[in-house]
Structure 1
């Protein structure tokens, strides 16, 4: 009888402690985010189109974005005139959100696409990469396209 009572209380304690344990929701970890967006970190992304308009060849400095490898929430680049850097959140393999980016304040010549470039980045809420081309989108509307340039290691 003593053994049955011991087994009963042991099982009751096990059930009690197991019932008190709640499963934590699964969210993307930093390693999941990096793995799900690994291609972002492999290229320097040079601007090819902005709001559907091709960027003319021969621009003195091509605007670009670069996602900092080893720092999954950092982005830096150039607007074609000023350097930029800031934070980016990649929620899954397609959702993206740029925090307001800091830029240097050099005087830019007329015809520079800096303001529309920064506006497009701020509007982006998702992305897709096809054939080494990064498309930043707002919903289903493309706001900027970039060509991937392989970075030297």
Structure 2
């Protein structure tokens, strides 16, 4: 550090300067011009260097695109975190809850909903709760905190997690709540590419019959369709986005397919059971689109649900078929 910068820091500290940010890991999505579904993971390392990983999940089952940016980081005299040496000039402000808010190159807040704060990632020794589904040799873990779905790596204590799932699940493909200790690693995926996976360090205990604590009730939200895993249908945005809303008093659901109105019945039981019955739609003259048929097919197949964060996943015997976000 240059002597002038050191002197400025010492003067600020004497007057009660902001505390230096601590190393850690944060996750979220930063704007990316040519990305389909970006996910960023920022690591501020104790030695003063940083790693910013971008995982861009490709549509239609293509391999994830992985990019890595490295450089050094520092806490500025005003308390802002600055990343140095990367292709872009990045600054962040650490919020009271620990999140990192992106700033522009002048250190001012960015007036755009695309720039959302990055969320602290659980540390390797932190107990976390989530919902696991295990099929054949593949496990999928949905974190309760943010609803993120993570493939489970066949490493660490993955066998102990599989055994706990098989021993405590209600039926094949049924979700099971568990608490565990784990961390994220970018590892080779089954399709030949790479993917960020959960490496289980230790299984704390299964939580049969429980869901994610604090998850919103089905009946309190309008659920907007976010994706249809396994389908190539493009989800329309804005007012044409398909949605569902549940009425527990009548056990009925209402919604829209992107053009037609939707109605039907539903049955919900336990922490994860769900089936949608007697689905019917209006018959409007709609523009050509395959999203309606794919959406209705996914709903008709649903056997279970996972509610985590502000996300709702519908599963068909353990396989995700639709994902919604609460509005």
Are positions 1:106 and 2:284 aligned together? yes
Partners in 2 of 1:57 and 1:131 — Cα distance? 23
Larger proportion of strand: 2
Matched, 1:62 2:228: no
- Taking structure 2 as the reference length, the TM-score comes to 0.32
- Distance 1:57-1:78 versus aligned 2 partners, 3 A rule: closer
In structure 2, the CA distance between the partners of 1:104 and 1:68, relative to structure 1 (3 Å rule), is same
In structure 1, C-alpha distance between the alignment counterparts of 2:287 and 2:304, rounded to whole Å: 31
Distance (whole Å) between structure 1 residues aligned to residue 300 and residue 236 of structure 2: 24
CA contact (8 A) 2:275 2:304 kept: yes
Match in the other structure for 1:115: 293
Structure 1 unaligned spans of 5+:
1-36
Higher gyration radius (CA): 1
After TM superposition, the structure 1 = structure 2 runs for residues 1-153 of structure 1, keeping only pairs within 5 Å, are 39-52=217-230, 55-56=234-235, 58=237, 60-71=239-250, 73-149=251-327
Structure 2 residue runs without a partner (length 5+): 1-214
Poorly superposed stretches of 4+, deviation over 3 Å: 52-60
How far does residue 68 in structure 1 lie from its aligned partner after superposition? 1.4
Distance 1:59 1:107 in 2: 19
For 1:59 and 1:130, the matched residues in 2 are separated by 23
- How far apart are the structure 1 equivalents of 2:262 and 2:236? 22
What residue is the counterpart of 1:9 in the other structure?
none
- Aligned-residue CA RMSD (Å): 2.1
Higher relative contact order (CA 8 A, sep 6+): 1
Q: Structure 1 pair 132/52, CA: closer, same or farther in 2 (3 Å)?
A: farther
Q: Any conservation in 1 of the 2:235–2:241 contact (CA below 8 Å)?
A: no
Number of equivalenced pairs: 112
CA gap of 1:78–1:57, structure 2 versus 1, over 3 A, is closer
